Amino acid sequence: MAAAATAAATILELEPSHERASRIVEDIVRLEKRIFPKHESLARSFHDELKRRNSGLIYSTSGDEIIGYAMYTCNTSLCATITKLAVKESCRRQGHGEALLAAAVERCRSRRVQRVSLHVDPERTAAVALYRKAGFQIDATVQDYYAPQRHAYRMYIDL
């Protein structure tokens, strides 16, 4: 089933000059607001995040519907960060997150980045399992990362 679901989806990188770019970003911002609690959402700063130097946004579509996205930043020539990875709830467990993660890591690899890192809530067990399956390792637990008493795993993969 996962192969059939991901075969029906298309992964694209946002091209800011594309005529539909602003509509795509607005669709992703709406998805961001539905998926993440307000204090974890980048919805208010999404446009600013995209303007950051060396940032990228990959998204997955099925027809005209945005079903997931991954945002990354190549911080230095050696290290990149995946700042967001999300899949619409009704489309989860079908391989979309895995495909988006692989595409984001590949974009970083093509820029000759040596390490990709990310932060994840340890209680999001499906996300932690996805990252481990892709080869990410837990580097540290960052105390109070999301909020008081809400920690994060810092995870990485060497390329």
Determine the pLDDT at residue 1: 41
Determine the pLDDT at residue 44: 67
* C-alpha dist (Å) from residue 27 to 88, 91, 97, 113, 157: 11, 16, 17, 29, 30
**Beta pairing partners, 13:** 58
Determine the pLDDT at residue 7: 47
Per DSSP, the three-state class of 159 is coil
Residue 67 · residue 96 · CB < 8 Å: yes
Residue 96 · residue 9 · CB < 8 Å: yes
Determine the pLDDT at residue 8: 57
Please give the tally of structural domains in the chain. Answer: 1
Give me the tens of pLDDT residue by residue for the chain, a chain 159 residues long: 444 445 456 887 887 666 777 888 888 888 888 888 777 766 667 667 777 778 899 999 988 889 999 999 998 879 999 999 999 999 999 999 999 999 999 999 999 999 999 999 999 999 999 999 999 999 999 999 988 999 999 999 999
Q: What CATH number is given to the structural domain containing 15?
A: 3.40.630.30
Residues 6+ apart with CB under 8 A from 30: none
Total residue length of the chain? 159
Determine the pLDDT at residue 3: 45
Give CB contacts under 8 A, 24+ apart, made by 15-23.
16/50
Determine the pLDDT at residue 43: 63
Residue 95 · residue 88 · CB < 8 Å: no
State which residues form the domain around 128.
2-158
